[in-house]
Structure 1
């Protein structure tokens, strides 16, 4: 979907006014369609729902009005109705108060990955998560190992034992004593510091390093900056996505997908929704992307995205996000 179509969508939302009856019927259609099966919804089925208290003819009239509004359509002659792309987005944006769900989310990394696996397995959807910037990781200790003839391996280890492993070129005067001294100096620089602060200290404290290593410090700090600043992500449940797609062309999921979502949802907090047709993946028609930005110490990190078919149990997925505690002011 191009920007002109998006503006048309937004304009339609601004002027669209549904009666209480039409809203009730529309909500019923959406709940019956978005249940994991995606069958067209018949008026007789809605009329039998508890609390409707209307006949099939009244429901049919309401569904006809909703079809004229562009929210529903009939996929076959004499078939029930299904939501249009416009209807799906209108339903999600107007009925759920998305911006109030999971605002300023500050999860731990384990919570991010655990939540992605839970949603993927429970609802058979694909989750894409931008990983926290490693530059904010606090270092507990540094080890420098003799890796091969040309390289030392620097291990920047946090308190959980996880490490960022970086290869750097050996100095000309390479020896075990020089390596041990360099490791001790790196611990002085990085211990109890974030990677970002450690890199800053590495440059600022260059004159305190042993003479044998000073000539290489600029190169090493540049290599560390480049490697630690690399975008990264995890993708969970991509098989569920590919099983629903027509054809066998794989999508370029991961960081490039997250960048597209960020371009569309820049500065939006809380839960947001995009249609697959609003992204440049032509075979994501009839898919919905739910996305929440997350933060560390109030600083934006990346996004948590769920790609689900339009007929997935979207209400249940959204309810999972409502369980995320709101940050206290």
Structure 2
């Protein structure tokens, strides 16, 4: 016999949930195909934008460098369709000729000129970063020489340094006699280096000025409230803040002093002990038809510039600020 149902049991039976209701309802995971496709497109899109510049870089930079390295192991004269493989003979010939490396002494004049132009550019950039009258005018005057073509600069100073020219006329007012600025072997490199100072000071000045203007103004205000002078502000605020730009300018100065070409080539053609390494390489290739030897000299110059840059980065590393 079955137990009689009471009202209390009916109430309990109604209030209890069904067996399936206690189980958690789980939905099957949805397949998200859209984000995966978006991530794949997001990975591939930057390479589409980089395709054109990479193609130009490989075509006009890396392939010519590879050809230059291959020519350095041959005796190609630059004209004949064939060439012979000579191995390291060009490099042996290059390092056994003292006169080929004597031209590096000329680079010391341009290296000293680079130091002068960096100091001058840093001074002008610091002065013009403060509230100075007519500072925009002075910025334009200092930057204008860099806008002039190097060939035009060479011809302008060719007349400037000629006997009885502009410089001799000005010096005559002070009782100084004329000089052979480009004909005297003791004065020609100093004169040419001075032209490079006049031309490239504006470029460094703009680089330094942009770096100084990026310094937070709160640092200048705090230094001024503490009673710091202009020199103390430069030493403790400006110089540490623009150290990476100074490092970049030093690298460009060293590499540029080793590869000077257009100003001495236009003004003297390398005569009177003013021949640079690049001018000598050009003469080997086009005057003496020794393209293989000239390619070896170009490879050596490239390695020297890379070595100097690497040493500079090792000795004076950039300070990196770690973000918490």
**Structure with the larger helix share:** 2
Scaled by the length of structure 1, the TM-score of the pair is: 0.25
Scaled by the length of structure 2, the TM-score of the pair is: 0.25
Higher relative contact order (CA 8 A, sep 6+): 2
Greater radius of gyration (CA): 2
